Homo-oligomer: A and B are copies of this chain.
Amino acid sequence: MEELIGTFAGFFTTVAALPQIYKAWRSKKVDDVSPKMFYIITIGVFLWTIYGILKADVPIIVTNGISVVLNCTMLVLIYRYRTVYNG
């Protein structure tokens, strides 16, 4: 049971950035989005990926590795579309 809940939890937290990426890509508007949040998430999931490598835990490596890519994508969109420089 725990493994099933862990799998779903990992799935949701991994794909969470997708709607924000889609919204930013479609609207080209990101000024209300905090770049700092995506920096901090990216550092966090990068560290979780390292943690997974040290523990040889494939699910942790895969879910957090995908999150690193998605959150970096969002950072690129923020720098490409933002018109104000704060927060």
Contacts and interface: CB of A to CB of B under 8 A. Distances in A.
Number of copies: 2
A47 B5 CA distance: 6
Given A34-B19, A54-B5, A12 B26 contact: no
Interface in A20-72: 20, 22-24, 26-27, 29-34, 36-37, 40-41, 43-45, 47-48, 50-51, 54-55
Contact of A87 (B12, B27, B45): B27
Contacts of A48: 6, 9, 13
A34 B47 contact: no
A19 to B, nearest CB: 4
A44 B43 CA distance: 19
